[in-house]
Amino acid sequence: MYFVVSGAHGIGKSTICKLVAKKIGGIYLSEAMDEIIPPPQFGPKSPEKVEGQLWHIRQQLIKEKQITDSSKIYIADRGWADIYVYTKVLLKPESKDILNSLIDALPKKIPDIHIIFHANINKIIERIKKRKRQNLIDWGEDDIDYLKKINQGFINYYNAFRDLKRIYLVDISGTLEESITSVINIIQENQTDI
């Protein structure tokens, strides 16, 4: 089984994915799989926005190569939808069109279940500040307008696909334990159906 968890930066994807994978004996697929090419500067302040998205495409391809055993549960921190949403918010139309056509041409694994996280903007900002990342300002993680566009972009993505595939919109504004329980419940509900 292949689960993808998507959502805005700082919302809690990595923490929740790691803990869910540990609790259910699943395999956690990190957002950053690369050990060769370091990430460029990300976000709205980046002069390398296209390169940043290409880096994420590379991470996704590396990540999907790890999915080798259909009897195991894989929980991926980010997926193709994340690249789509960030591309839509960050890039000018010409760059966006080129990247989207590249993504369309690539072989992709389709998740059995796609979980989209969303939360109140103030809650996400609070979580971003707690991360204490050195690149917070350089990557524009403190840019509230950017964060609102990304968070709404994921909600729009969910609304566009909710009748077409197994996709869930999960509000994770509550406690960490509540969020973990919500994700585990979705996994358990769907294990027998897949």
The tens digit of pLDDT for each residue in 31-79 reads 876 777 877 778 887 888 899 999 999 999 999 999 999 899 999 999 9
Q: Rounded to the nearest 5°, which phi and psi values hold at 50?
A: -65, -45
Query: Where residue 134 falls among pLDDT bands split at 50, 70, 90?
Result: low
Q: Residue 117: beta bridge partners? A: 170
Among candidate residues 154, 108, 144, 95, the one with its CA nearest the CA of residue 123:
144
Q: Which of 145, 139, 151, 148 is nearest to 44 (CA)?
A: 139
Work out the mean pLDDT of the chain and round it to a whole number: 89
Amino acid at 140: G
Do the Cβ atoms of 86 and 122 come closer than 8 Å? no
The whole-number pLDDT of residue 135 equals: 61
What is the average per-residue pLDDT within 93-122?
94
Distance (Å, whole) CA 106 – CA 83: 13
Domain ranges of the chain: 2-177
CB 144 within 8 A of CB 181: no
Task: Name, in order, each residue with C-beta under 8 angstroms of 3's C-beta and a sequence gap of 6 or more.
Answer: 26, 73, 74, 75, 76, 111, 112, 113, 114, 115, 187
167-171 vs 113-118, strand pairing mode: parallel
CATH topology of domain 2-177: Rossmann fold (3.40.50)
Q: How far is CA 42 from CA 56, 87, 98, in A?
A: 10, 11, 18
pTM of the prediction? 0.89
